[in-house]
Chain A
Amino acid sequence: MIPYLFATAMLLIGLYAIVARRNLIKIVIGVAITEYAVNLFLILLGYRAGGIPPILSKGMDLNKFAANSVDPLPQALTVTSIVIGLGVIALLVALVLRLYEKYGTLDESEIKRLKG
């Protein structure tokens, strides 16, 4: 239960930053917080107190290994999602830089050339 509550709370903090902040950089940080909330959640899913690394070496008993090791799949998922997150944040920051060149401000409320 704790990972769920924790991840939801962190996700909401990130969403608050995205919705309430007006500085573009702070919005990007908000996006990063939401991404890391989910990454942390995935890692916590596979966590096991006192677990051993999920690497099967020679001479290990398979049943004992399965009973003690942490779940490796969420770790693989998290590595993938961190890489994706890196690409997303890099593109976002590049967009912010170009926006700053065009508008001369990072204030979201002044970047409003598109009409409803």
Chain B
Amino acid sequence: MVPELNEQPIIQELRCILGRLETALSAISDALVITDHRGLVLWCNRSFDRFIDQPRMLSLGRPILSLLPLDHQGDPLLAEAVLATVSQIPGSTTVLLQRQPLKVCEMEWRPVDTEVPASVIFCLRDVSTRISNQELQATAERMEQQRQHSDRLNRELQQQQLLLANLVRECPVTGLPNRRGLRERLALALGRLQERGGQIGVLFCDLDHFKDVNDMHGHQVGDDLLIEISRRLQEALPPEATVARLGGDEFVVLTGWIGDGSEAVAIARMLQQRIAAPWLLHGQRFEPTMSVGITVTSDPLADGDELLRQADVAMYHAKRSSAESLALHDASIEAHFRSSCRVHQELRLAILNQKLRLAYQPIVALTGSDLDGSPAILGHEALVRLQPEQGLPIDSEMLIVEAERTGMVLELGSWVISEALRLLQHHPQRPDHWSLAINVSPLQLEQSGFAADLLERIEVMAINPRRLVIEITETKILKDSSCCIQELTSLRNNGVRVHLDDFGTGYSSLSRLARLPIDGIKIDRYFTAALGSDSRLERMIASMIHLGRDLGLEVVAEGIETDSQRLALQALGCLWGQGHLFGRPGDLN
């Protein structure tokens, strides 16, 4: 007879064995997890609790992927595709969890063949120390080697590019010599001076408004124009002359032997005429013009680059100052250029270091006077002054010209407006009719929202807008009309007054004048100076005053220096005046 089986002791023993095994597994430092076929955690040891910093009760039944940290790039430790295979294929991976401080995890997985289908055991361990001491160092060395290799390749490539560039002597568009080719020709020409004497001329030619051609008609038309220009220049010159293209719209002509500078000027004029002949392309008619700067030398030891620089300086002078867009480099042009560079430099520093100041010149009533017999002050014009820390003061007119040429007029103008508004805010006690005039560049008016911004500042600072007068030059308002007129109209509609500065010098038609959004005109000092000496100009100034008054405009005569000028203007019916007679620009008080 089989005795009744008592399972209790066996169950008890098995439970104890299981318990000891579980305790042992929990004691090891590797984090262990068993998951079911869905990747849900069935069991994990204490090291895993510590690894994910979460009690086991919260891990059980959760997807393992949701419990594991992300790698240093924020990606899961196991890609979905890998996770799908873990119950069939064992594997392992080493993952960088974070760089600082370094944390690297090694994860291994094995399918577990039990009654639970497709269960998997994962083992995770922190291998940061091992990695940091060995593999990281090896990786760093490998990367350094790669970097050095890459640097070496780059240097070699740069050297090859340089070598190739040095071999190129021709412009790819026109086939003319480029700067390098020109240098060689120039050196040869200077060498020949040594043998035969005489002079050579360097003509720096710059096409006017070439950018507009590119912008309006495309670069292909622009290139075609460059080819046509190069053809015309070559055809117009004798074989011993050289035509080169430096780039963009810049050509240089190296003349053959010439007698003197006037001969070089004659060649330049001839080239300008040849260039200006109409050119038809795709139904478009072009009439190119170019500015030419010239330098001549008889010195065989002259530096070629210096000659090019001189011709370049003369070309810029021609573009800006010469009616015929042509200039021969001389000491005065060089001085003007250097002065211009200095102004540019000083202005940049003054804006940077806040060294600008405003000087105020009174605008007075020409009729009537204050109680003390002096003319009644109707307002002031604020004028920018720049006194460098060293050297002579900067000429105000040149300052503005340079500021406009370099675009710094925007910063300068912004500073003037801020100063003027600050002054208006802090001088509310001035008489009601008193106003402050500031000069505004069309470049400022072209800035999007100029008027809106100024009006907002006026409102915020609680300033009476009628106390502010914007002065804009006649030439510039006509040149950049539509945008400027829109902004000025907006200012006027909101109470700010607008005066047309330097009136009489801008060739404006009377019909245009009648339509301009202005409150007044300022007759240029050129006309005032002619009072009493030039009857024709006197009649013109009289006409201007009458015209202004007939249009209901405020008329201010500028540049009044003598009492006789004041009386003459008074007699002609001019009501307002400005000039040294009434005060030089200075402090407001």
> Are both chains from one complex?
no
